[in-house]
Structure 1
Amino acid sequence: MPARLTLSSGLATLALALAIPATALADGAERLTRMLEPLNTYSADFEQQILDGSGQRLQQTEGHMWLSRPGKFRWEVKAPYEQIVVSDGDEVTLYDPDLEQATIQPLDERITHTPALLLSGSANELTDSYEVKSSQQGTAETFTLEPKASDTLFESLRLTFYSEQLAALEMTDSTGQRTAIAFDNAEQNGNIDDQRYRFEVPEGTDVIRQTR
């Protein structure tokens, strides 16, 4: 997946009232499932960064995202350039207005292993596909997921919740490059019109349709 389509951002620093050492939680997969299962819809502003293996920032973008489980997702990058990724539950459309190009492909297993789209899937499927470890520090809980399969797009994924609300995620690929996403102004289980997940390709756009 091109760097412009990688989902990422920097984690905001929270001042915790009590500095409690992180402790491992034995039932990480069960705990993550309990936290994700009630999440039917989610929308938030995001700030994303791509960092190389040494931590140097390669790219920073911002925008807004919406998801409705299962399988529906819309990710809009607003700055510094516009880009849209939309899943209607059957297909994923990646639209780049600068290039006047749209790529449409089936929502298959490999695509759902991207961090944005896996959040819109089943929590049970998520924990079936990944080894899950967790730690807690004050009101922050972090879950580290490592894929059980070898053909995924990343080596590990970290989900961070504050007071049981999803606040950030970070993905690391096999080269050590990190894609980090921080969410703000989040709304969980609000009403999202299903039209949000239907994308009408603008006239004159070059359409590339991929099959399984």
Structure 2
Amino acid sequence: MTPTRLATFGFALMMPLTALANEGAERLTQLLEPINTYQADFEQQILDGSGQRLQQASGHMWLSRPGRFHWEVESPYRQVVVSDGEDIYLHDPDLEQVTVQPLDTRVTHTPALLLSGSADELTKNYDVERRQQGTAETFTLDPRSPDTLFEELQLTFYAEELGMLQMTDSTGQRTAIAFDNVEQNAPIDDSLFTFEIPDGVDVIRETQ
């Protein structure tokens, strides 16, 4: 290791952990803030604590800040989740059922809201650590509040484009979502974020 690299390495070791965490949050905010809309194909896997695959799904998603998203699972069975910024609609065509619940605006309960890119929310709700390998930047977010739906959240960017999201819950179960064919800040029809309840389905309305 050259003297310059050694000095840089030593300086990093001496930096307070809070400074490193703030640096991670600031860098993540830099990547998230330019995102106004985001759409991509996705592959989702749910793995147990030992890494065994429990479930796999694929589909397409659209997101528009703040708080609007459309998540459409195409296989192995069809399912649609739509948020208009106020309510979330979960439509299961096979069950002929729609569940409606208010959107929980806490980012620790709705990871999709992280894409709103609020620096204050990030630093207030998470300890953020960053690591880089080549063009890949991975951010590990540990919620500061025990009132959360997950123990750890990871966002990975490839060449500054979001490509992977992973969530781990208290049982060790992990949800890994890989994004492909990403389009960032492309126009999205507002109608995608409006859900019309089909005739003849059972409607379940939940409150927080």
Quickly name the TM-score band, shorter chain normalised.
Answer: 0.7 to 0.9
Q: Is the 8 A contact 2:105 2:113 kept in 1?
A: no
Q: Normalising to structure 1: TM-score of the pair?
A: 0.85
Distance across 2 between alignment mates of 1:91 and 1:121: 17
Equivalent residues of 1:134, 1:143 under 8 A apart: yes
Say whether the 8 Å CA contact 2:40–2:181 is kept in structure 1.
yes
Deviations for 1:74-93, whole angstroms, at most 9, x for unmatched residues?
10000000001111001111
Residue 120 of structure 1: CA displacement?
4.1
Per-residue CA distance 1:113-132 (angstroms, 9 max, x = gap): 233x2234342223321111
Q: Which residue pairs with 2:113 in the alignment?
A: 118
TM-score (norm 2): 0.86
- The residue type paired with residue 64 of structure 2 is S
C-alpha separation in 2, matches of 1:141 and 1:156:
16
Contact 2:69 2:84 in 1 (8 A): yes
| Long gaps (5+) in structure 2 | 1-11, 14-18
Which position in structure 2 is the counterpart of 1:203?
199
- 4+ residue runs of structure 1 moved beyond 4 angstroms? none
Amino acid at match of 1:100: E
Using a 3 Å threshold, how does the CA distance of structure 1 residues 105 and 112 change in structure 2: closer, same or farther?
farther
Cα offset for 1:111? 7.6
Q: How far apart, CA to CA, are the structure 2 residues paired with 1:63 and 1:36?
A: 23
**CA distance in 1 between partners of 2:113 and 2:176 (Å):** 15
Say whether 1:165 aligns with 2:161: yes
**Distance in 2 separating the partners of 1:45 and 1:205:** 28
Most deviating of 172-181 and 100-109: 100-109
Which segments of 5 or more consecutive residues in structure 1 lack a partner in the other structure? 1-22
Matches of 1:168 and 1:113, distance apart in 2: 18
Cα distance, 1:201 vs structure 2:
1.0
Q: Distance in 1 between matches of 2:177 and 2:110?
A: 13
Higher relative contact order (CA 8 A, sep 6+): 1
Q: In 1, Cα distance between the equivalents of 2:106 and 2:32?
A: 21
Question: Per the alignment, do residues 97 and 126 of structure 1 end up closer, same or farther by CA in structure 2, a change over 3 Å counting?
Answer: farther
Let me know the Cα RMSD of the aligned residues.
Answer: 1.8
Give the superposition deviation at 1:110: 5.1
Once residues 115 and 103 of structure 2 are traced to their aligned partners in structure 1, the CA distance between those partners, rounded to angstroms, is 12
Q: CA deviation at 1:191?
A: 0.1
Match of 2:189 in 1: 193
Aligned residues with identical type, % of pairs:
68
Deviations along 1:96-155, whole A, 9 cap, x unmatched? 11111111111124586233x223434222332111111000000000001111111100
Structure with the higher helix share, 1 or 2 = 2
**Is 2:43 the counterpart of 1:47?**
yes
CA–CA distance in structure 2, aligned partners of residues 118 and 111 of structure 1: 6
Aligned to 2:71: 75
Aligned residue type for 1:180: A
Instruction: Give the 3-state SS of the residue equivalent to 1:119 in structure 2.
Output: helix
Tell me the distance in 1 between the aligned counterparts of 2:64 and 2:144. Answer: 25
Number of residue pairs matched by the alignment: 189
For 1:67 and 1:112, the matched residues in 2 are separated by 18
